[in-house]
Amino acid sequence: MPDHPYMSRSAASRPEFDHRAEQGKTILLVDDSDFERFTIRAAVEGLTNFRVCGEAPNGVDAVRMATELKPDLVVMDLAMPLMNGLEAAALLKNAMPAVPIVLLTLYADEVPAIRSSAFGVATVLSKADGLAPLLECLDKLLGSAGAV
């Protein structure tokens, strides 16, 4: 059999192979509620082609994990211990300016768009509206490749 550059190497060792493209776009979930993270993960992984690459319970862990995991998007709660979502968003935008951040809160009306965009937030969504607006937002921000 002739020696071919890819015959003896696995797809994972090929220079042009992109694991992230095969696995779908990645999302970091940040919320101090285990239940909220579980619910969002189940919806994202069950109803889209996106993949949750990590979960953090506060803004401090979110910043650390995002710089390690390099997600394609961050979904973050506003009210969290140690560091709130706006403070974490500002740090993330500084470190990863191309990564969109979606801020979730029970009180979306209390976070003016002008203020949130100054912190690097792409969109503010109300948790009270359910998961459908979040899934639509993810699809819009990450591309239509997310639809199942």
- What is the reported pLDDT for 9? 35
The residues, ordered by sequence, that sit 6+ positions from 145 with a Cβ below 8 Å of its Cβ are 24, 25, 49
Q: How far apart are CA 130 and CA 24, in angstroms?
A: 23
Q: How far are the Cα atoms of 61, 69, 71 from residue 92, in angstroms, in the given order?
A: 11, 12, 11
Residues 50, 102 contacting (CB under 8 angstroms): no
| Cα distance between the two ends of the chain | 40
Q: How far apart are CA 22 and CA 4, in angstroms?
A: 23
pLDDT at position 48: 83
In CATH, the number for domain 23-143 is: 3.40.50.2300
Residue 6 confidence (pLDDT): 30
Question: Are the C-beta atoms of 131 and 50 separated by less than 8 Å?
Answer: no
Of 146 and 138, which is predicted with more confidence? Answer: 138
Angstrom CA distances, 111 to 7, 59, 140, stand at 55, 17, 21
Q: What is the pLDDT of residue 144?
A: 53
pLDDT, one tens digit per residue, over 3-16 is 433 333 333 333 33
pTM for the structure as a whole: 0.78
The most confident of the ranges 19-23, 42-46, 109-113 is 42-46
Which structure tokens are listed for 39?
Answer: 């619910």
Given a contact cutoff of 8 angstroms between Cβ atoms, the answer to whether 102 and 74 are in contact is yes
- Nearest residue to 82 (alpha-carbon basis) of 91, 69, 72: 91
Cα–Cα distance for residue pair 88/134, rounded to 1 Å: 19
Helix 34-47 vs helix 132-142: crossing angle, to nearest 10: 60
- The token pair at 63 is 């910043």
Q: What is the pLDDT of residues 49-103, one digit of tens each?
A: 899 999 999 999 999 999 999 999 999 998 888 988 889 999 999 999 999 999 9
By percentage, how much of the chain surpasses pLDDT 70? Answer: 72
Residue 112: what pLDDT? 55
